Amino acid sequence: MSEQIFTTVGTRPIRHDGVDKVTGRANYGADLSLPGMLYGVVVRSPHAHARIRSIDTSAALAVPGVKAIITGQDVPLVDVKLGMGEGAMDLKDMSDNLLARTKALYHGHAVAAVAATSLAAARAAAKLVCVDYELLEPVLSVDRALEPGAPILHDDLVTQARPPIEATGPTNIAGRLELQRGDLAAGFAAADIVVERVFRTPTSHQGYIEPHACVARVNEDGRINIWTSTQGPFLVRDATAAMLGLDAANIKVTPSEIGGGFGGKIPVYLEPLAVVLARQTQRPVKMVMTRDEVFRASGPTSATKIRVKLGAKKDGSIVAASASLYYEAGAYRGSPSGAGAMCMFAPYNIPNFHIDAYDVVVNKPKVAAYRAPGSPMAALAIESAIDEIATTLGLDPVEIRLTNAVTEGNLAPYGPPYGPIGFRAVLERVKASDHWQTPVAPGVGRGLACGFWFNAGMSSSATVMLGSDGSAAVITGNPDIGGTRAAQAMMVAEELGIPVERVRPSVADTDTAGFTEITAGSRVCYATGMAVIEASRDVREQLRGRAAKIWGVTVDETRWEHGRVVPVTPSDARTPLTVPEIAAKLAKTGGPIIGRASVNPPMAGPSFAAHICDIQVDRETGVSKVVRYTAVQDAGKAVHPSYVEGQMQGGASQGIGWALNEEYIYSAAGVMENAGFLDYRMPVASDLPMIDALIVEVPHPGHPYGVRGVGEVPIVPPLGAVANAMSHATGLRFTELPLSPPRVLARLQQGT
């Protein structure tokens, strides 16, 4: 791809939605209230594993103001999948998760929902819903889940067990993926050094600031309106329709602003309940989770156990690798173990490897996607093992990775050969960075780790409207999580040669935007951006037609050049026309102009990242402090560098929190004991240094500007980077997260 010249792309304009957001004017999920609205509250299981014998709602129904109570009996369980192939979403599980039918599978599992005229009445009634439970032993770890004789969560879960787990009846294994290449035994036989370790990561949560919230209204003619904080308004529409047996064409979903999602606002928890309650009561119903409910009943990411074995030559070249990944799915199948397996060795060209990955159900909330789902835990394992080999062999951590780094033409462990990728460029940038070139301070440990993410494609749509004043509006259907309004406006500005301030980006509802998949998979700037660019080019083509009309020539006699239409044959009578000049004559030349495009591109260009972490440990308390941190990443092309940097800084911050402190602490009964931000310890600004973000740009040839996704890969390296830094700071190898003060202190006191 030849170097492109950009005018707007690569600059840093103020985001169009910025003022609304910083002044509190933007409306989030809980901000809407409608006349006559009821408040919906979910009744949740106080047991982690229990059979539901019966539910008595009579006392609750007697509470003044209560208008409806629903249980699993009110919503038939549907056995359908949404979407096709691997990415299909199992709505049967989602529906049973919505409202437990026969068993409560985790502490916090919804068993009923109440709608009342006030939140207080709804809460009072919820407490009076009497559920007769038969208690069962909870399964709280993959180890216990796989033990012979362990309680089985789903009696019908039989087909997925395969060797080495032998089973004739049902198991807790919901899925298994195996990847291999070459001759593993020969590879290890050829190795000069072999490292084998088992790593564990805890259940941790995305920690978005805004809890799940929605309002549903059912009109007398069956038309339904849902306002909700979601990453996917079209998914909410289609999943709600499928789960309730409704026609999606009768449902309009309006996405609110979204106060974070990170994958956790893809599943549907409240909307169908609100719709059923609204339908029963013929009044709008609002449902808002508390923070406690978000922790207990929305999807965290998997706790994992990962065994990795790595064999290398003395020069650091890896000759063999094997790994077994056990990822907790929570109560229903669907952990990101497969993605973890595919990502784990993706940065390295390893001739002989074997991976098996297990999706294991346990009595915890069903996991949800969390930023590069599955990859950070796998990276922790491989990056720690490489670090250990480098340390043992006395090799530079960057050099050993450069020795093994994949490059264009190498096969990805999951199959296809890589196209142009930026992993080597990222490692070279690390080497050249001020951070890497600055000697490690005394008492500080420095860790390096890398990471990989696929980035997604999928369907997206955009429309671009040109005004007669030469300004433009762009409409998409992706809730703006990471600054995508600004990025999309910039693409329109770039294509039309107009100032970005004169482009108005809007996120529209499902009746107004063209069909667009979820805001996830680092796909919005890539795939939706591609639709925006194509829609803008559709405008450009029409502008050529208008210029041709103005000049009295054919369209073929015009061409687009640097934001203007110019005649193919220069002429005094035909001076080049800018967009505002043509726009001013729209009415006279055939009316307004709308550009539109829809795309469904393949998977986006993969991105690689490398993070450097300097950490200091207080040996008396085990408290650690990140003192310097640098994130390097291949963005392909950074449309708005500030927001790419923001993604890198945000991903690093989340990963650091996950590495150092975040974890669900469970009681033996399976009750989360720290379901609040005071006890679930996320890093705040004062906990972290400024995170330096260094963008590398190796264009992705599948995108007009070379864009890769940027939102996810920055959370992949931090777990390994922090663990490696901690190892160098203490001389001890850490394999279990979080590296919280008690755990670090215990290891320091233990001395090994």
Is residue 12 a contact residue for a second copy (CB under 8 A)?
Answer: no
Taking CB under 8 A as the criterion, the residue among 8, 206, 281, 459 binding a second copy is 459
Stretch that binds a second copy, among 298-306, 314-322, 463-471, 609-617 (CB under 8 A): 463-471
Q: What are phi and psi of 409, to 5 degrees?
A: 100, -25
Taking CB under 8 A as the criterion, the residue among 417, 592, 701, 742 binding a second copy is 592
Is residue 48 a contact residue for a second copy (CB under 8 A)?
Answer: no
Taking the least distance from each CB to a second copy, the nearer of 462 and 744 is 462
As measured in angstroms, the least distance from the Cβ of 624 to a second copy is 41
C-beta separation of 527 from 599 below 8 A: yes
The one-letter amino acid at 321: A
As measured in angstroms, the least distance from the Cβ of 579 to a second copy is 12
The one-letter amino acid at 339: A
Q: In what order do the strands lie in the sheet with 213-218?
A: 66-71, 110-116, 38-44, 285-288, 213-218, 224-228, 251-255
Q: Which helix (H) or strand (E) holds 416?
A: none
Taking the least distance from each CB to a second copy, the nearer of 237 and 401 is 237
Taking CB under 8 A as the criterion, the residue among 11, 600, 616, 674 binding a second copy is 600
The one-letter amino acid at 661: N
Taking CB under 8 A as the criterion, the residue among 45, 304, 461, 624 binding a second copy is 461
Stretch that binds a second copy, among 16-24, 129-137, 313-321, 378-386 (CB under 8 A): 16-24
E strand residue ranges, 485-561:
503-507, 558-561
As measured in angstroms, the least distance from the Cβ of 323 to a second copy is 33
Is residue 597 a contact residue for a second copy (CB under 8 A)?
Answer: yes
Taking the least distance from each CB to a second copy, the nearer of 363 and 528 is 528
Question: Facing residues of 460 across strands?
Answer: 599
Stretch that binds a second copy, among 131-139, 205-213, 464-472, 698-706 (CB under 8 A): 464-472
Is residue 86 a contact residue for a second copy (CB under 8 A)?
Answer: no
Taking CB under 8 A as the criterion, the residue among 172, 463, 484, 654 binding a second copy is 463
Taking CB under 8 A as the criterion, the residue among 132, 147, 196, 511 binding a second copy is 511
Closest alpha carbon to 277 in 117, 44, 46? 117
Is residue 572 a contact residue for a second copy (CB under 8 A)?
Answer: no
As measured in angstroms, the least distance from the Cβ of 495 to a second copy is 16
Taking the least distance from each CB to a second copy, the nearer of 23 and 569 is 23
Is residue 33 a contact residue for a second copy (CB under 8 A)?
Answer: no
The one-letter amino acid at 469: D
Cα angle 325, 109, 127; round to 5? 155
Burial 463-480 (b: 16+ CB within 10 A, else e): bbbbeeebbbbbbbbbbb
Taking the least distance from each CB to a second copy, the nearer of 329 and 474 is 474
SS3 track for 248-282: HHHEEEEECECCCCCCCCCCCCCHHHHHHHHHHHC
Stretch that binds a second copy, among 190-198, 593-601, 683-691, 720-728 (CB under 8 A): 593-601
**Which residues, in sequence order, are CB contacts of 309 under 8 Å at separation 6+?**
188, 194, 195, 196, 320, 321, 322, 323, 385
Is residue 487 a contact residue for a second copy (CB under 8 A)?
Answer: no
Q: Which residues inside 222-261 make contact with a second copy, applying CB under 8 A?
A: 223, 247-249, 252
Beta strands at 38-44 and 285-288: parallel, antiparallel or unpaired = parallel
- Give the binding-site size for a second copy (rule: CB under 8 A): 56
Angle, in degrees to the nearest 10, between helices 233-244 and 271-281: 60
As measured in angstroms, the least distance from the Cβ of 439 to a second copy is 46
Is residue 578 a contact residue for a second copy (CB under 8 A)?
Answer: no
Q: How many residues does the chain have?
A: 752
Is residue 437 a contact residue for a second copy (CB under 8 A)?
Answer: no
Is residue 533 a contact residue for a second copy (CB under 8 A)?
Answer: no
C-beta separation of 486 from 497 below 8 A: no
C-beta separation of 174 from 306 below 8 A: no
C-beta separation of 111 from 96 below 8 A: no
Taking CB under 8 A as the criterion, the residue among 409, 417, 443, 590 binding a second copy is 590
Stretch that binds a second copy, among 160-168, 432-440, 596-604, 727-735 (CB under 8 A): 596-604
Question: Facing residues of 308 across strands?
Answer: 197, 323
Is residue 559 a contact residue for a second copy (CB under 8 A)?
Answer: no
Determine the Cα–Cα distance for residues 401 and 655; give it in Å rounded to an integer. 21
Taking CB under 8 A as the criterion, the residue among 226, 368, 500, 513 binding a second copy is 513
Determine the Cα–Cα distance for residues 214 and 219; give it in Å rounded to an integer. 16
Is residue 468 a contact residue for a second copy (CB under 8 A)?
Answer: yes
Closest alpha carbon to 688 in 661, 728, 717? 661
150: tokens are 């362990």
Is residue 19 a contact residue for a second copy (CB under 8 A)?
Answer: yes
Is residue 25 a contact residue for a second copy (CB under 8 A)?
Answer: yes
Taking the least distance from each CB to a second copy, the nearer of 18 and 351 is 18
Determine the Cα–Cα distance for residues 684 and 57; give it in Å rounded to an integer. 43
Taking the least distance from each CB to a second copy, the nearer of 165 and 550 is 550
Is residue 221 a contact residue for a second copy (CB under 8 A)?
Answer: yes
Taking the least distance from each CB to a second copy, the nearer of 459 and 724 is 459
- Residues at the site binding a second copy, with contacts judged by CB under 8 A: 14, 18-20, 23, 25, 84, 219-221, 223, 247-249, 252, 458-461, 463, 465-469, 471, 473, 475, 501-502, 504, 506, 508, 510-516, 531, 538, 586-588, 590-600
